[in-house]
Amino acid sequence: MAADSSSQNSKILLTGIRASGDIHLGNYLGAMRQALQLQTKYQSYLFIANFHGLTTTPKAEELRKHTRSIAAAWLAAGVDTKKTVLWKQSDVPEVLELAQVLTCLTSVGLLERAHSYKDALAKEKIIKAGILFYPVLMAADILLYNSDFVPVGKDQAQHLEMTRDMATYFNETYGTTFTLPEALILEDVATIPGTDGRKMSKSYNNGIDLFASEAELKKQIMGIKTDSKGLDDPKVAEECVVYQIFKLIAGKSESDEMKRKLEAGGYGYGDAKKALLAKFLEDFGAMRKEYDRWMKDTAALDQELARGAVQAREKATKMIKRVREVVGL
């Protein structure tokens, strides 16, 4: 396993997906795909954030299901576990220890500025402390492995800024211990729109889920909201969510063709949705099969996670030992 980040290819990449539902296209294009593409370049740490999942999934069976499903998604999408470490967050409890240390350096004011907390304030009557604490645990995830790069969607940019703040407070208080991580956000996939035009999110129920049944996918794609222009009307492709998504998964010539047809008129939103469904099934067909295979072979899946946990924990233990020393525990 690569140790410290002294040269370019020993730099560390880390990202996590919250165990809170099914993987959708936004998760894949925004975070997973770039992480997977970079696994040959950087020592990579990929995990399933099941402690974070507790903030939204209070049912044990559901949380277990989401955790396995995200692990299967990582594996199906191409994690090379010979090189990359894949584990579930709760298998490395040292992360909670670091989070506890970080809470003592982090002002409540900083946490109250988090978009995730403000969203919860707007929606919920009672805010659980876990929501306010969410960015601290995320910072602990990142700092525990001395991560250099964190591929994420744009919605996580603020959490990454907070992580850098926490690392800076820590380094200023106790001496340089942590690397300041950098978010990797790709502009064209920073915020994938959902079927209702808002950001695609597990919490908005507006996803196109990578591993849903064909019938369910059809329902999701056919349900994409469009304006009321009729079949013959010329349409504005750039304003159409179907086209916006199609463009991200199809090649340039195919998407240019859809744009031309939409703008010419005589090509309906229903036609565009059918083309999107077909493209989606073509592009993700092999991955979907792999996912089903992993979901059926839970013993193999659990074994991969157990192996990853040992590797992750080995690294985490070294860092936590150092943290304990410098803070005086």
Binders of ligand TRP among 150-169, rule CB under 6 A? 150, 152, 156, 159
Q: In 10 A of CB 248, how many CB atoms?
A: 14
Q: Give the β-pairing of 149-151 and 85-88.
A: unpaired
Q: Which does 135 bind (CB under 5 to 8 A by kind): ligand TRP, ligand ADP, none?
A: none
Per-residue mark of binding to ligand TRP, 35-74 (x: CB under 6 A): --------------x--x----------------------
From the list 102-110, 134-142, 185-193, 298-306, the region that binds ligand TRP by CB under 6 A is 134-142
The radius of gyration of the chain's CA atoms, rounded to the nearest angstrom, is 21
Q: Where are the beta strands (DSSP E) in the chain?
A: 12-18, 43-49, 85-88, 149-151, 182-184
Distance of closest approach, residue 288 Cβ to ligand ADP, in angstroms: 19
User: Rounded CA gap, 178 and 167, in Å?
Assistant: 6
Integer Cα distance of 56 and 53 in angstroms: 6
Which CB sits closer to ligand ADP, 94 or 141? 141
If one asks whether residue 138 binds ligand TRP (CB under 6 A), the answer comes out as: yes
What does the alpha-carbon distance between residue 40 and residue 49 come to, in Å, rounded to a whole number? 23
Tokens describing residue 126: 């009672």
Strand partners, 43: 12
221 in helix, strand or coil? Answer: helix
Residue where the block lists tokens 């601290």:
136
CB of 145 to ligand ADP, least distance (A): 16
Contact stretch for ligand TRP (CB under 6 A) within 54-62, 71-79, 136-144, 227-235: 136-144
Q: Closer to ligand ADP by CB, 198 or 321: give it.
A: 198
Stretch that binds ligand TRP, among 149-157, 223-231, 296-304, 317-325 (CB under 6 A): 149-157
* Cα–Cα distance, 131 to 77 (Å, whole number): 29
Q: State the nearest-atom distance from the C-beta of 34 to ligand ADP, in Å.
A: 10
Pick left, alpha or beta for residue 197 (phi over 0 → left; psi -120 to 50 → alpha; otherwise beta): left
Q: Which residues bind ligand ADP (CB under 6 A)?
A: 17-18, 20, 26-27, 30-31, 152-153, 155-156, 189, 191-192, 199-203
> What is d(CA 103, CA 100) in angstroms, rounded to the nearest whole number?
5
Relative orientation angle of helices 60-77 and 298-327, to the nearest 10 degrees: 100
Residue 26 Cβ vs ligand ADP, minimum distance, rounded to whole Å: 3
22 versus 254: smaller Cβ distance to ligand ADP = 22
CB of 308 to ligand TRP, least distance (A): 15
Least distance to ligand TRP from the beta carbon of 238, Å?
Answer: 27
Contacts to ligand TRP by CB under 6 A: 14-16, 18, 49, 52, 138, 141-142, 150, 152, 156, 159
